[in-house]
């Protein structure tokens, strides 16, 4: 098939190809989470429809379309095990949009594709509300509007550029209304979410197995952003963001411990803060977890939009439901603190238990250590320092790829790490430290969260990435409470002191670009992060509290959502009235020919000439000529000129140079010529 060139294609073919291009652009971001078969099938159908449009060939029959639809439904069910829900629904929607293009036989079919396309645009925000997706979907909306304009225009008109320009003007006219709705429409959280979106996207899920956190080190997406509001910024080694605290251990998996006593709230944490606090503004990304990682130690959190947060006795902040929307809040934290019971009680029993039959070599090593005179009566800090010294001096290595431990399922993974291979990531060191301390009869537990942050040189914010996910240990000291011990600081001090997380080896393109411009990638990422942060703060994080603040600035003392609705309705109604008034005024202002001719027609009707509202000047001229004969010739000439001004061909001189002044001049000439006929006053 030979490409005839865009200008030589029929109008219908050009419009169809443009619509197919818009649909392909809209579907493209979905390919990252669509099943491969769906992306391939959609591409085949769009290319097929484009080839039919170029050749002006007939469309496939309904039986072919029905067979493709049945196959798509079957593949969707086989992939997702359901036809309901977000994933299956988006898959079917993408197939249906592409399939509908194969039956574009009438204008109603095109309208169905347009509105399915608009709905497809919305589904992107179920996955991401990033600035890049918003910009891409803005282009999609513009393209769909341009295709809608083309569908309403006569055959042969207009050009694609004209349709796109008209669609752009429509969008600009609607932009103020959209901005008003954005600012005042009551927020319902979560705005973009589905019931099945509660799955965790990080390793901070309340459980930990060997290797789970190492997998996160490859994820450079942002977990949260920080801005120091007041106080001395903490040093990198003090940036510990506390998440789930894991005390239960079954030999393979660490879990959050259930309390042996009834929960009584945060008062049992026995938190004692020291020194001056640092006030931090936190923008937390939607982690889809029932947890709020907070800088140690954060005694209180302000009220959060749509989320109720509670603090456990172990200082871990939890929420009643997974956090599926971005949160921004300001809280005070104390890097220097003590917490936990100062006397040994039943609450410490969970932090002493070890499952029988697991890691026998480590347990035997600890028992032998206790029999040595220098460690027989050693206190908890002495034992912790001894374990740190061993990690620092006995050849242990910090790596993202330690390999699989306990591949024979013998339950000796920590033994193998502690005595044999000595290679691990933070969870390996934390788990071995805690098991060793428990074997030495010291209560200990694992704390998961994030450690460290990188400073963005563009806006000065601190960025905590998923690759900063970390596991450390706490042990209990009589008279003091829980104390932090981070074995990673002993084996890899740069990881803690300078927030230098391990990174995977770069690919070929990244290596080549980095060799040519070593700092370019870092600068580009910093610029993108700063820009995206402003997008998050100003657009995505515009919440109900921001709306309440707006109403308070407008003078309302205790605003509610009812006040918001009333204000929105009042402004929309006022704008509608203003728009109607402007349309009425613009209609009269922008058509001077009608007002000029109306004066002439009313004068003729007042003197007995029959002329309705739709009577054109040529017909009125004929009626005047029939009534007055040759005496009406000047009036007839003026009315013919007025008629030509309105209805002449595009190449007529009068049409090219028509102005409102010309219409008024011809109307005055007609009235002057009618004056001798009906004895009219000159106006």
**This prediction's pTM:** 0.66
* Straight-line distance from the first to the last Cα atom of the chain, in angstroms, rounded to the nearest whole number: 70
Point out the residues of the chain with pLDDT beneath 70: 1-8, 154-158, 187-203, 258-268, 406-411, 499-522, 525, 533, 536-538, 540-545, 561, 586-591, 648-659, 679-683
Contact 138, 146 (CB under 8 A): no
Among the listed residues 225, 223, 231, 221, the one whose alpha carbon sits nearest the alpha carbon of residue 291: 223
Domain ranges of the chain: 6-184, 207-497, 511-540, 548-589, 591-678
> Is it true that the peptide bond before 297 is cis, omega within 30 degrees of 0?
yes
The token duo for 340 is 């936990």
Task: Determine what percent of the chain falls in helix, strand and coil, rounding each to the nearest 5.
Answer: 55, 15, 35
Among the listed residues 416, 452, 411, the one whose alpha carbon sits nearest the alpha carbon of residue 432: 416
> Is it true that the peptide bond before 298 is cis, omega within 30 degrees of 0?
no
Dihedral of alpha carbons 16, 17, 18, 23, sign: positive
Distance separating alpha carbons of residues 166 and 600, to the nearest angstrom: 36
Question: What integer pLDDT is reported at residue 383 of this predicted model?
Answer: 94
* SS3 state at 434: helix
For 254-301, give the secondary structure using H, E and C: EEECCCCCCCCCHHHHCCEEECCCEEEEEEECCCCCCEECEECCCCCC
pLDDT tens digit sequence for 428-487: 999 999 999 999 999 999 999 999 888 887 777 888 988 888 999 999 999 999 999 999
593: left (phi over 0), alpha (psi -120 to 50) or beta: alpha
Among the listed residues 116, 117, 113, the one whose alpha carbon sits nearest the alpha carbon of residue 105: 113
Question: What integer pLDDT is reported at residue 168 of this predicted model?
Answer: 85
Beta strand 317-319 pairing with 309-311? antiparallel
> Is it true that the peptide bond before 589 is cis, omega within 30 degrees of 0?
no
Average pLDDT, the chain: 81
Distance separating alpha carbons of residues 127 and 176, to the nearest angstrom: 26
Distance of alpha carbon 78 from its chain centroid, rounded?
Answer: 29
- What lies within 8 Å, CB to CB, of 174 at 6+ separation is none
* SS3 state at 477: strand
- What lies within 8 Å, CB to CB, of 406 at 6+ separation is 210, 252, 412, 413, 416
pLDDT tens digit sequence for 123-158: 888 887 778 888 888 899 998 888 888 887 765 566
Contact 218, 467 (CB under 8 A): yes
Question: Exposed/middle/buried for 251, CB within 10 Å: 0-12, 13-18, 19+?
Answer: middle
User: What value, to the nearest 5°, has the Cα angle with vertex 37 and ends 34 and 42?
Assistant: 80
pLDDT tens digit sequence for 484-543: 999 999 998 888 877 666 655 554 444 444 455 556 666 776 777 777 767 766 676 666
Exposure string (b/e) for 205-224, b if CB count within 10 Å is 16 or more?
A: bbbbebbbbbebbebeebbb
Distance separating alpha carbons of residues 119 and 142, to the nearest angstrom: 14
The token duo for 471 is 């596991």
């Amino acid at each position: 098939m030979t490409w005839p060139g865009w200008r030589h294609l029929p109008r219908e073919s050009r419009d169809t190809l443009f619509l197919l291009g818009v649909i392909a652009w809209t579907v493209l971001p979905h390919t990252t989470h669509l099943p491969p078969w769906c992306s391939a099938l959609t591409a085949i159908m769009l290319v097929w429809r484009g080839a039919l449009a170029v050749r002006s060939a007939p469309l496939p029959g309904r039986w072919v379309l029905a067979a493709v639809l049945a196959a798509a439904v079957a593949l969707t069910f086989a992939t997702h095990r359901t036809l309901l829900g977000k994933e299956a629904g988006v898959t079917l929607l993408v197939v249906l949009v592409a399939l509908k293009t194969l039956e574009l036989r009438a204008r109603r079919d095109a309208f169905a594709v347009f509105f399915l396309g608009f709905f497809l645009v919305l589904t992107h925000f179920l996955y991401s509300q990033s600035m890049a997706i918003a910009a891409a979907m803005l282009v999609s909306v513009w393209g769909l509007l341009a295709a809608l304009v083309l569908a309403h225009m006569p055959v042969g008109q207009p050009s694609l550029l004209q349709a796109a320009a008209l669609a752009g003007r429509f969008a600009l006219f609607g932009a103020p209304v959209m901005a008003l709705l954005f600012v005042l429409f009551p927020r319902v959280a979560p705005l973009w979410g589905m019931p099945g979106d509660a799955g965790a996207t990080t390793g901070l899920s309340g459980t930990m197995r060997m290797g789970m956190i190492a997998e996160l080190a490859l994820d450079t997406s942002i977990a949260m952003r920080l801005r120091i509001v007041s106080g001395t910024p903490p040093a990198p080694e003090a940036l510990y963001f506390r998440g789930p605290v894991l005390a239960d251990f079954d030999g393979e998996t660490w879990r959050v411990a259930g309390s042996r006593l009834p929960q009584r709230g945060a008062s049992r944490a026995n938190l004692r803060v020291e020194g001056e606090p640092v006030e931090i503004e936190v923008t937390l990304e939607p982690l889809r977890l029932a947890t709020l990682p907070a800088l140690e130690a954060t005694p209180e959190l302000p009220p959060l939009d749509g989320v109720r947060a509670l603090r456990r006795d172990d200082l871990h902040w939890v929420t009643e439901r997974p956090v599926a929307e971005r949160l921004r809040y300001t809280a005070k934290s104390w890097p220097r603190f003590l917490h936990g019971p100062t006397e040994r009680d039943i609450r410490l029993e969970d932090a002493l238990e070890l499952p029988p039959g697991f890691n026998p070599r480590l347990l035997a090593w600890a028992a032998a250590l206790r029999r040595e005179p220098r460690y027989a009566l050693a206190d908890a800090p002495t034992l912790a320092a001894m374990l740190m010294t061993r990690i620092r001096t006995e050849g242990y290595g910090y790596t993202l790829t330690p390999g699989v431990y306990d591949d024979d399922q013998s339950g000796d993974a920590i033994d193998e790490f502690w005595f044999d291979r000595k290679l691990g990531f933070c969870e390996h060191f934390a788990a071995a430290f805690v098991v060793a301390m428990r074997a030495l009869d010291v209560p200990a537990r694992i704390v998961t969260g994030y450690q460290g942050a990188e400073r963005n040189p563009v806006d000065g914010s601190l960025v905590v990435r998923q690759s900063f996910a970390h596991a450390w240990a706490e042990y209990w000291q009589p008279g003091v409470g829980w104390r932090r011990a981070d074995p990673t600081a002993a084996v890899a001090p740069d990881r803690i002191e300078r927030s230098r997380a391990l990174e995977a080896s770069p690919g070929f393109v990244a290596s080549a670009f980095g060799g040519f411009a070593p700092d370019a990638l870092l600068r580009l990422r910093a610029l993108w992060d700063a820009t995206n942060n402003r997008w998050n703060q100003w657009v995505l994080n515009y919440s109900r509290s921001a709306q309440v603040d707006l109403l308070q600035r407008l003078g309302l003392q205790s605003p509610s959502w009812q006040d918001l609705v009333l204000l929105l309705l009042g402004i929309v109604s006022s704008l509608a009235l203003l728009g109607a008034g402007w349309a009425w005024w613009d209609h009269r202002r922008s058509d001077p020919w009608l007002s000029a001719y109306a004066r002439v027609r009313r004068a003729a009707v007042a003197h007995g000439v029959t002329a309705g509202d739709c009577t054109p000047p040529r017909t009125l001229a004929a009626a005047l000529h029939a009534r007055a004969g040759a005496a009406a010739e000047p009036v007839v000439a003026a009315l013919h000129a007025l008629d030509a001004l309105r209805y002449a061909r595009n190449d007529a001189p009068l049409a090219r140079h028509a102005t409102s002044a010309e219409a008024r001049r011809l109307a005055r000439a007609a009235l002057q010529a009618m004056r001798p006929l009906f004895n009219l006053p000159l106006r």
